[in-house]
Every structure is written in structure tokens, then in C-alpha cells.
């Protein structure tokens, strides 16, 4: 008998939103319930994706065009979908992914100003229609998030953008969440770590239980 298809849960948000901490808590929760969990990230997750990640985030690389950045992101994504995500989901595993396609709409679309229709075309090619079953959007004011991120040490190439860039990123994230309320759960990332985790667990458990009839 083929296993039941797994679920794809993505975490999105601006800089300093606390995605890494939340991922660890969610993974521990799901594993306690007996699920087999795969944790990955974008860009990255595969040898090719990690090499692309190093290129894209390298703070010493100036003059990278918005178009080049987007194409690199989707190249890493295409490899992740085929090498990791699709096989894991077919095997019944639950996948926790730090960023996915919404990040390209927010960062390359909102932040860089690329046409959203062009991003949608790249999405169709790279993902072959693979969409998250649930997206947790960690939202907090840009100034708050950047203060947190600055406390982590050196910044990568994208983290060095100005506040206006990140305001546009946040706006697109919230716009997408409003347009797809069935998929998104917006979490107030200014709350305590425990409170955010509890809200995220409630959303994930609701996904496990399925729609109520």
C-alpha cells in the first residue's frame, strides 16, 4: 500500500522574524506525534541549492541584477522540488521548509520590483504546481525585525538592503496572505517564542486533523 502523501509546511517572514527557532519547535512537536519530518531551507537544501545560496547571499558580490537573483532562486527551487520535496511527500513525510515561492514574490517582486506575472511563470516551471499545504507567515514591524537581525552579527547581501526594501517585502507578504486565507496563517512574531510556537502548533494540528464536516 502506498503511504498517504505527506504535507508541505512553509515558513515565511522578513529578517529577524524567528523562523529558525520556530522550525525547531515545530519539528520537535511533529516528531513527538510520530510523524517522519524533513526540515529544509531555501535557497538551499540540495548540494546545487547550497552552492546557489552561497552565490546569492555573498555580501561581497555587488551588481547582481534583480533578474539574475530571481533566476538563481528559482534554479535552486527547481532542484529542491525534484530532488527533495516531491520524493519526501510521496513517501509520506511531512516537510518543514524555511521559505518557498512566496519569498520570491516578496523579495524579488516586492523588494526588487520584478513583475509578479513573470515570477508566476518561473514558479510554474520550477515547482510543477507543488504548493504548500500550510504557510506560516511570521509578521512583525520592519524596524523590530532588523534590530533582531543586526544582533546576529554580519549581514548577507540581501540583509543589507534598506528599510524601504523590507517594507515592500512585508507588504507583499501580507497581501498574499490576505488573498489566500485558507493557506496562510499570519503569526504575530513580536510575541514571545513560546506564544508563537503555540499558535503555529495549533495551525499544524488543524492541518493534521483535516477539515471538519
What the chain holds in terms of domains, given with CATH numbers, is: 8-209 (3.40.50.300)
Mean residue pLDDT across the chain:
94
Distance CA 188, CA 43 (A): 24
Cross-sheet strand order for the sheet of 134-139: 37-41, 94-98, 8-13, 134-139, 184-188
Give the per-residue pLDDT at 213.
43
Give the CA diameter of the chain. Answer: 54
Sorting pLDDT into bands at 50, 70 and 90, what band is 209? confident
**3 state SS for 138-166:** EECCHHHHHHHHHCCCCCCCCCCCCHHHH
DSSP string of the chain?
Answer: -PPPP--EEEEEESTTS-HHHHHHHHHHHHHHTT--EEEEESS-SSHHHHHHHHHHH-TT-----HHHHHHHHHHHHHHHIIIIIHHHHHTT-EEEEE--HHHIIIIIIIIT---HHHHHHHHHHHHTT---SEEEEEE--HHHHHHHHHTTSS--TTTTS-HHHHHHHHHHHHHHHHH-TTTEEEEETTS-HHHHHHHHHHHHHHHHH----
Give the per-residue pLDDT at 48.
98
Question: What mean pLDDT comes out for the span 154-182?
Answer: 94
| pTM of structure | 0.94
Under 8 Å CB-to-CB from 1, ≥6 apart: which residues?
none
Give the per-residue pLDDT at 144.
87
Sorting pLDDT into bands at 50, 70 and 90, what band is 180? very high
Q: What confidence tens digit (pLDDT) does each residue in 106-134 have?
A: 999 999 999 999 999 999 999 999 999 99
Closest CA to 189 of 115, 136, 135, 119: 136
Amino acid at each position: 500500500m502506498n503511504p498517504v502523501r505527506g504535507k508541505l509546511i512553509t515558513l515565511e517572514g522578513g529578517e529577524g522574524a524567528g523562523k529558525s527557532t520556530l522550525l525547531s519547535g515545530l519539528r520537535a512537536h511533529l516528531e513527538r506525534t510520530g510523524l517522519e519530518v524533513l526540515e529544509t531551507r531555501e535557497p538551499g537544501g540540495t548540494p546545487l541549492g547550497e552552492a546557489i545560496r552561497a552565490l546569492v547571499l555573498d555580501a561581497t558580490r555587488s551588481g547582481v541584477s534583480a533578474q539574475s537573483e530571481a533566476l538563481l532562486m528559482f534554479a535552486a527551487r527547481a532542484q529542491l522540488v525534484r530532488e527533495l520535496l516531491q520524493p519526501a511527500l510521496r513517501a509520506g513525510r511531512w516537510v518543514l521548509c524555511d521559505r518557498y515561492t512566496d519569498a520570491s514574490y516578496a523579495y524579488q517582486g516586492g523588494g526588487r520590483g520584478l513583475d509578479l506575472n513573470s515570477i508566476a511563470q518561473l514558479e510554474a516551471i520550477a515547482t510543477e504546481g507543488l504548493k504548500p499545504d500550510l504557510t506560516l507567515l511570521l509578521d512583525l514591524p520592519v524596524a523590530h525585525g532588523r534590530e533582531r537581525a543586526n544582533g546576529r552579527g554580519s549581514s548577507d547581501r540581501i540583509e543589507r538592503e534598506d528599510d524601504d526594501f523590507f517594507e515592500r517585502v512585508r507588504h507583499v507578504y501580507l497581501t498574499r496572505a490576505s488573498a489566500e486565507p485558507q493557506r496562510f496563517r499570519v503569526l504575530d512574531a513580536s510575541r514571545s517564542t513560546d506564544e508563537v510556537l503555540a499558535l503555529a502548533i495549533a495551525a499544524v494540528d488543524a492541518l493534521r486533523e483535516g477539515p471538519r464536516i
